[in-house]
Amino acid sequence: MNFSSKLLEDAVAEFAKLPGVGQKTALRLVLHLLNRDKEEVHKFSTAISKLRNEIQFCQTCHNISDQKVCEICSSHKRDHGLICVVEDTRDVMAIENTNQYNGVYHVLGGLISPMDGIGPADLQVDSLVERLKDGTVKEVIFALSATMEGDTTIFYLNKRVKQFAINISTIARGIAFGGELEYVDEITLGRSIVTRVPYENSLS
Amino acid sequence: MNFSSKLLEDAVAEFAKLPGVGQKTALRLVLHLLNRDKEEVHKFSTAISKLRNEIQFCQTCHNISDQKVCEICSSHKRDHGLICVVEDTRDVMAIENTNQYNGVYHVLGGLISPMDGIGPADLQVDSLVERLKDGTVKEVIFALSATMEGDTTIFYLNKRVKQFAINISTIARGIAFGGELEYVDEITLGRSIVTRVPYENSLS
């Protein structure tokens, strides 16, 4: 593209580095910002630089936080005997939105993926094992994606965690609510028959 | 959404104000920025605030520029007797990319749209009329979108411009190159028959 201004070109190039944003979208976003008030654009750019410079990660669960220990980990209303292990912050938000979970979390910061060069040492695994040592934790729930990387990570974590006398569980896999049987893939459908549950249990 | 951090929430809210960016996309972009180096995020936020604070608009054609007069308007290689009237910077870039045009531009900054409350006074119309007064301009080309707003704007501009003894033209409308006849809408196809051109002319 032929830019009439170096400033414009720089801003478009920076936007185009974002995932899923190409040159044309970047230009559209930048021209939108140019039409906004100076104060609003200032708010936008400071929100980003402030986030990157001041953000903290909870010392206990490694979730994104404004304090050294996040609100969930410091809450007395939560069940500290139950740890839900997730990949990242988005998963914590998704589970919190269900209003079905009252335990605490442990954010791994990724999944084991040899293809991307991510091994257990790159994740918050040691600190998870550390949290289990004092015996207050009764159950660990693995809530990871149902992918190759998720399964590999659960396999590895299980080996590290099973030395402690605690329950280890994973979130249920099966047909989504509202899902029509004919559109479900055969692996999910096959596994959901093998791991069928008593009808009485499925009602609760 | 339940955010674990106010900084995170602010950054997501700012991103979600961009056109076509919802809460989920905003969160994905913000988490991507969090994973990048501090210097890179700093570059991103300064590129944006610098753009908004230092950008100028060419005094002659009102295109985005780093100087008071843009490169095109100050170039001696361009034909200053030919003005192409466009809606915004993107159109200038699109026409420049064709390498078919050697004149100068006039950026209106929008189109007349009573529905959106945009009238002629909100556009750079008076300055266009001003540019035509000294007699150096021989032709004005209207290169506006083939929409209701574009046509309304051309109609109004034509009334203002025809007092000068200059040629007034619009870019050709018709079937796009590579377009298959059966998929062309009937208005375009009908008009392209009415405004047919001699075969000899269509070859150049």
Mean pLDDT, range A76-95, rounded to an integer: 92
Query: Domain with B41 in it: what CATH number?
Result: 1.10.8.420
Give the strand pairing for B139-142 and B167-170: parallel
- pLDDT for A129: 94
> Which among B48, B88, B93 has the least Cβ separation from residue A45?
B48
- pLDDT for B128: 94
Residue A181 lies in a domain: no
| Residues of chain B positioned with their CB less than 8 A from the CB of A64 | 4-5, 8, 34
Mean pLDDT, range B150-174, rounded to an integer: 91
**pLDDT higher than threshold 80 for residue A201:** no
pLDDT per position as a tens digit, B164-195 = 889 999 988 888 888 788 888 888 888 888 88
- pLDDT for B76: 93
What are the CB-based long-range contacts (under 8 Å, 24+) for A155-164? A156/A112, A156/A120, A156/A125, A157/A85, A157/A125, A157/A128, A160/A125, A160/A128, A160/A129, A161/A128, A161/A129, A161/A132, A164/A132, A164/A133, A164/A137
**pLDDT higher than threshold 80 for residue B57:** yes
- pLDDT for B1: 73
Q: How far apart are CA A71 and CA A52, in angstroms?
A: 20
- Residues B68 and B59: beta-carbon distance below 8 Å: yes
Q: How far apart are CA B168 and CA A54, in angstroms?
A: 58
Assess B7–A contact: CB distance below 8 Å, yes or no: yes
Residue A197: CA atoms inside 13 Å, Cβ hemisphere, count? 10
- Residues A58 and A48: beta-carbon distance below 8 Å: no
Name the band, by pLDDT with cuts 50, 70 and 90, for residue B66: confident
Residues linked to residue A84 through DSSP beta bridges, in sequence order: A105, A141
Torsion of CA B84, B85, B88, B93, to 10 degrees: -10
Are A113 and A146 part of one and the same domain?
yes
| A90·B27 Cβ contact <8 A | yes
What is the percent of chain A where pLDDT is above 70? 100
Could you give the 3-state DSSP secondary structure of residue B139? strand
Name the band, by pLDDT with cuts 50, 70 and 90, for residue B150: very high
Chain B, 121-140: which have a CB under 8 Å from a chain A CB?
none
Domain that holds residue B203: 174-204
Could you give the 3-state DSSP secondary structure of residue A5? coil
Q: How far apart are CA A29 and CA A45, in angstroms?
A: 13
Residue A69 lies in a domain: no
Query: Domain with A118 in it: what CATH number?
Result: 3.40.1360.10
* Phi, psi at A104, each rounded to 5°: -110, 180
- pLDDT for B204: 62
The sheet with strand A139-142 has its strands ordered as A103-107, A79-86, A139-142, A167-170
Are A86 and A49 part of one and the same domain?
no
Residue B65 lies in a domain: no
pLDDT per position as a tens digit, A128-175 = 999 999 889 999 999 999 889 999 999 999 999 989 889 999 988 888
Strand residue runs (E) in chain B: 56-57, 64-65, 79-86, 103-107, 139-142, 167-170
What's the mean pLDDT when you consider all of chain B? 89
Are B149 and B178 part of one and the same domain?
no
- Nearest 5°: CA angle at A56, between A51 and A60? 150
- The CA-atom distances, in angstroms, between B162 and each of B52, B119, B171 are 37, 20, 17
- Residues A42 and B49: beta-carbon distance below 8 Å: yes
Assess B28–A contact: CB distance below 8 Å, yes or no: yes
- pLDDT for A204: 62
- pLDDT for A152: 93
* Phi, psi at A112, each rounded to 5°: -65, 125
Closest residue by Cα to residue B52 from A19, A20, A43:
A43
For residue B31, give every residue at least 6 positions away whose Cβ sits within 8 Å of its Cβ, in sequence order, or none.
A88, A89, A90
Q: How far apart are CA B26 and CA B24, in angstroms?
A: 5
Mean pLDDT, range B8-13, rounded to an integer: 92
> Which among B4, B30, B32 has the least Cβ separation from residue A63?
B4
In whole angstroms, how large is the CA radius of gyration of chain A? 22
- pLDDT for B78: 94
- Give me the interface pTM, i.e. the ipTM: 0.80
pLDDT per position as a tens digit, B130-147 = 999 988 999 999 999 988
What is the percent of chain B where pLDDT is above 90? 57
Q: How far apart are CA A30 and CA A14, in angstroms?
A: 10
Mean pLDDT, range A69-83, rounded to an integer: 92
What's the mean pLDDT when you consider all of chain A? 89
- pLDDT for A180: 84
Are A38 and A103 part of one and the same domain?
no
Residue A146 lies in a domain: yes
Residue B183 lies in a domain: yes
Which position has the higher pLDDT, B168 or A181? B168
Residue A88 lies in a domain: yes
DSSP tally for chain A: helices H, then strands E: 9, 6
Mean pLDDT, range A81-98, rounded to an integer: 91
Q: How far apart are CA B19 and CA A6, in angstroms?
A: 23
| A34·B10 Cβ contact <8 A | no
Strand residue runs (E) in chain A: 56-57, 64-65, 79-86, 103-107, 139-142, 167-170
pLDDT per position as a tens digit, A47-61 = 999 888 888 899 999
Q: How far apart are CA B35 and CA B48, in angstroms?
A: 19
* Cα torsion angle, B104, B108, B109, B113, sign: negative
- The CA-atom distances, in angstroms, between A54 and each of A57, B32, B55, B188 are 10, 16, 29, 56
pLDDT per position as a tens digit, B72-104 = 999 999 999 999 999 999 899 999 988 889 999
Are A30 and A92 part of one and the same domain?
no
| Residues of chain B positioned with their CB less than 8 A from the CB of A53 | 38
**Number of domains chain B is built from:** 3
- pLDDT for A5: 86
Are A50 and A93 part of one and the same domain?
no
pLDDT per position as a tens digit, A16-28 = 999 999 999 999 9
| B41·A28 Cβ contact <8 A | no
Residue A59 lies in a domain: no
**pLDDT higher than threshold 80 for residue A9:** yes
Residue A147 lies in a domain: yes
- pLDDT for A190: 85
